[in-house]
Structure 1
Amino acid sequence: MKKVMTLTALILTSLTFNASAAMDPKLEQKLIEVCKTGLTDNLYKFNRTMMENKINKRRIFPRLVCNGESFHEFAISNGANRVAKKIAPFIQGATSITDLAMNNTSSQILLVKF
């Protein structure tokens, strides 16, 4: 019984260590700095943070999540509209195709009599 308990404890311990995040602590600190500058509406501070940390906007902003929100939504919800406007081109949008014939239900029919 002791062997089974020991083996189970070792297996569970190894699983918990493998489940930890594989992010470099330095990278995590850089991203936290970017999130903190998203709280302010200071473009100078934002640009300086981006340049100091050498962050690629096209790679980071579609994926960066601050407090459970995308960075763009995070900036808007904290009143940093200028920062949100600056990164808006880097956010991936959603595209949908709408059939125009289906939307033409309220069109008027003209009757011409000769």
Structure 2
Amino acid sequence: MKKAIISTIISAGLFLAGSAQAANEMDPAVESKLVKVCEAIKSDSVIKVNVAIRDSGLGMKRIADGLVCNGYDPVSFAMANEAQKTAKFLAKKSAADNQEFLASL
């Protein structure tokens, strides 16, 4: 009886750990759309950025303030890839203080 209780507790613990891990994974469709936004930012085309953001289903402000592309925020990612037009565009849309980025453009 004691072994049955212990095995039940261990099984429940493994099941809950698996559920918690699965909850942190991103939906592949959403991830693909966000990758397209990062690619558009890198392309230095404001039109492509607008289209990619619209297709992602998220708002401009949410993308500008919350997206991470290769470990960078969108403005820094654009600057790292010498995409000044998109960096300037996203800096204007971001709630963060990106005056230093705007000044350097």
Q: With structure 2 as the length reference, what TM-score do the two structures score? A: 0.68
1:27 aligns with 2:40: no
Superposition deviation, residue 34 in structure 1: 0.3
Superposition deviation, residue 16 in structure 1: 3.0
1:89 aligns with 92
1:104 aligns with none
What RMSD over aligned residues (CA atoms) do the two structures have, in Å? 2.4
1:14 aligns with 2:6: no
Which digits, 9 at most, give the CA deviation of each residue in 1:32-62, with x for residues without a partner? 1101112211223223223333431012210
Superposition deviation, residue 22 in structure 1: 5.3
5+ residue gaps, structure 1: 95-114
- Identity within the alignment, %: 30
* Separation of aligned partners in 2, 1:34 and 1:24: 16
Give matches, 1:1-114, under 5 Å.
3=4, 4=6, 7-20=9-22, 21=24, 23-94=26-97
Which digits, 9 at most, give the CA deviation of each residue in 1:63-113, with x for residues without a partner? 11111111111111111111111111222235xxxxxxxxxxxxxxxxxxx
Superposition deviation, residue 2 in structure 1: 5.8
Q: With structure 1 as the length reference, what TM-score do the two structures score? A: 0.64
- What is the one-letter code of the residue matched to 2:38? C
The structure with more helix, counted as a fraction of residues: 2
Q: For residues 2 and 67 of structure 1, do their structure 2 counterparts lie closer, same or farther at Cα, with a shift above 3 Å needed?
A: farther
5+ residue gaps, structure 2: 98-105
Q: For residues 68 and 5 of structure 1, do their structure 2 counterparts lie closer, same or farther at Cα, with a shift above 3 Å needed?
A: farther
Tell me, yes or no, if the aligned pair for 2:44 and 2:84 is still in contact at 8 Å.
yes
SS at match of 2:52: helix
What is the count of residue pairs matched by the alignment? Answer: 94
